[in-house]
Structure 1
Amino acid sequence: MIDVKAPRLRRTLLAAFLSASVAAPVTGAASPAAVPAPVPAPLAPLRAATPEALAVRYAATRDAVRAAERTAADHGDLRRAALLRAMADPGRRLLSFDGRDGGRAVEVFGGDLAAAERIVVLVPGSGTTLDKYGLLRGGALRLSQALGERYAVVGWLGYRTPNLVSLAALTSGRAEEGAPALRAFVRELGATRPAARVSLLCHSYGSVVCGLAAPGLDVERLILIGSPGVTVERATGLRTRAEVWAGRAGGDWIARVPHVRLAALGFGADPVSPGFGARVFAAGDGGHSDYLKAGSLALQSIVRIVSGHAPVEARRAVLGRTSVEARRAA
């Protein structure tokens, strides 16, 4: 942590932090529409990840989505209603859903959660709401397709994300709210699927959530992509036995965010810096939202890391070969 004592220097760094963060070239930065949604019925704890128990959970969550769809339609928001209608499709596998405050949803992609040997929990960042849920879903689908059927990918929009361009996106407040829920979810996975190996894949502000949830959490790997920092100065400060990996694409605007922590603003050290101590992997030249883009070096690296292999070098990256190797991984 940087101890800034001179008021002028403090003001200068704070101004730089705000300008780099707020003026960053982002997409879809608008706040989600204030669409009302009913309070979802409480879900019974998932005590076993059997096909029968999961079917019951998926059906209960589908009912909650349909109730939110009716409320959105009554409110006159036909776009939100159409989105929820698609989400309530019987082929979708949602473990939980809450349509309030921008929305929360936890969905399974790829392999059957009851049989998956490895599980990847994908934690998204700022600006991810029900209105932008397609971005999370698309990334999760591409990752699950690259990994193969022995892997399950869980898109975990389980916290109230800050708007992309907002003061909340510059502080850890929303992450502090979300970290206990992420910790509880991962522990529930561990209890119901003890033989499966779990990795956390944390994008942007989602990495702040993961960093706060990490201490003592039983996960195999913690993978940070496009991270502004995780509120600690070194990977050892995360107090986790997991392998900590970090990657940042060459065209990611997050590199311009000052890695400082001033009062409540900022998230500390850069996770890809040598001093942080994470295992750094090549993530290509894409932008902030391109880490799970089909054919990208970042996706190839993530697939190999999750499957227990060293990331491919840029000059040898071939997505097709990576996918086959991931499916054969132990």
Structure 2
Amino acid sequence: MLNLVVAASVAGPVSAAARPQAVPAPVPASIAPLRALPQDLDARYAVAREGVLAAERLAGRRDDLWRAARLREMAVPGRRFLFFDGRDGGRAAEVFGDLATARRIAIVVPGSDTNLDKYGHLHGGALRLHAELGERSAVIAWLGYRTPATTSLGALTPELAETGARDLRTFVRELRAATPGARISLLCHSYGAAVCGRAAPGLDVSAIVFAGAPGAAVDDAAELRTRAEVWAGRGARDWIAHVPHARIRLPFATFGLGTDPVSPAFGARVFPAGDGGHSDYLRAGSLSLRTIARLVSGRAPLRAVDGA
């Protein structure tokens, strides 16, 4: 199957295949790096909200009613964003919980086809994870990179993950400096695992959790070069099990995202993810949601019989 993907690459550049439809949006105001908490938070939240509202007004003037409606939902008072950029599919980091007092922080890194028009799934999953974690916790839904389309060649190459990893590393460094005592974990879904895999070396996080990952853009867990706990899980009905798990390096591109993270050859600790599909890892009441909450809290995973 991977050979067919490589052959199909002659049909067009990977970068063009992966690019989402452009939606006009204003250039966001510059925001200084996150430093002191809680002093910096209110100011950042206010600047980001103004960015959402400005993008909503522009979308309305251009009769993009779907985008305008999604942005109005994001601008509801009480929702808090560390940054927002409405251009090129969109970038945002939404906070659930009190970041200033949180002792456990989970950063949710989403996969392909995640953008502002389809933001609801990421928002809902992060909200449910925060509810499962309880007090003294925070969850950040980090849409910090241009995600590929699921059916594009970009979803089978690490090209977009490289850029996303650079920005994720910067974000985690700032967050670590601002919250020195917190346990920070990465929850990396689908193509987001490739972003986390590229960002992992030397990153100061306590756990990296791969859920429904086609690969982490590395051959094994040792290549992550991390001291963090590395976990991987896959639901019984997740179609991602059937994608090619390999890497083929060609002069013009690399195809495939590496070894299957739940395989023994990868070397991660495997957690039970229940019987869900590719979009069900943070489904309400699911074994995977409860298990992931335990992992990012530094606790042992539930056994499948515990969550039956």
Distance in 2, Cα, partners of 1:35 & 1:307:
38
Query: Which residue of the partner structure matches residue 256 of structure 2?
Result: 266
Shift, 1:33, TM fit: 4.8
Query: Which residue of the partner structure matches residue 74 of structure 1?
Result: 61
Which digits, 9 at most, give the CA deviation of each residue in 1:127-146, with x for residues without a partner? 00000000000100110111
Q: Equivalent of 1:289, from 258, 279, 285?
A: 279
Distance in 2, Cα, partners of 1:238 & 1:54:
31
Q: Equivalent of 1:207, from 189, 193, 196?
A: 193
Query: Which residue of the partner structure matches residue 107 of structure 2?
Result: 121
Equivalent positions of 1:35-184 (< 5 A) are 35-50=23-38, 52-109=39-96, 111-184=97-170
Question: Cα RMSD between the aligned structures?
Answer: 1.7
**Maintained 8 Å contact 2:209/2:232:** yes
The 3-state SS of whatever aligns with 2:305 is helix
Query: Which residue of the partner structure matches residue 3 of structure 2?
Result: 14
**Maintained 8 Å contact 2:21/2:88:** no
**Maintained 8 Å contact 1:163/1:169:** yes
Which amino acid letter does the alignment assign opposite residue 100 of structure 1?
A: R
Shift, 1:31, TM fit: 8.1
Which amino acid letter does the alignment assign opposite residue 154 of structure 2?
A: A
Which digits, 9 at most, give the CA deviation of each residue in 1:50-81, with x for residues without a partner? 1x320111001111111101110111111211
Shift, 1:32, TM fit: 5.4
Summarize the Cα distance change of 1:154–1:266 in structure 2 as closer, same or farther, 3 Å threshold: same
Which digits, 9 at most, give the CA deviation of each residue in 1:102-124, with x for residues without a partner? 11110001x20000001000000
Summarize the Cα distance change of 1:266–1:32 in structure 2 as closer, same or farther, 3 Å threshold: closer
Which amino acid letter does the alignment assign opposite residue 49 of structure 1?
A: L
Summarize the Cα distance change of 1:144–1:287 in structure 2 as closer, same or farther, 3 Å threshold: same
The 3-state SS of whatever aligns with 1:314 is coil
**Maintained 8 Å contact 1:200/1:219:** yes
Distance in 1, Cα, partners of 2:121 & 2:19:
15
Query: Which residue of the partner structure matches residue 268 of structure 2?
Result: 278
**Maintained 8 Å contact 1:17/1:258:** no
**Maintained 8 Å contact 1:32/1:131:** no
Alignment pair present for 1:316 and 2:303: no
Distance in 1, Cα, partners of 2:216 & 2:23:
31
Percent identity between the two aligned chains: 64
The answer for unaligned runs of 5 or more in structure 2 is 9-17
The 3-state SS of whatever aligns with 1:315 is coil
Deviates more, 1:203-212 or 1:143-152: 143-152
Equivalent positions of 1:162-241 (< 5 A) are 162-241=148-227
The 3-state SS of whatever aligns with 1:119 is strand
Distance in 2, Cα, partners of 1:304 & 1:146:
9
**Maintained 8 Å contact 2:274/2:286:** yes
- TM-score, structure 2 length as denominator? 0.92
Distance in 2, Cα, partners of 1:70 & 1:257:
41
The answer for unaligned runs of 5 or more in structure 1 is 1-11, 20-29, 319-330
Summarize the Cα distance change of 1:311–1:45 in structure 2 as closer, same or farther, 3 Å threshold: same
Distance in 1, Cα, partners of 2:72 & 2:241:
38
Shift, 1:90, TM fit: 2.1
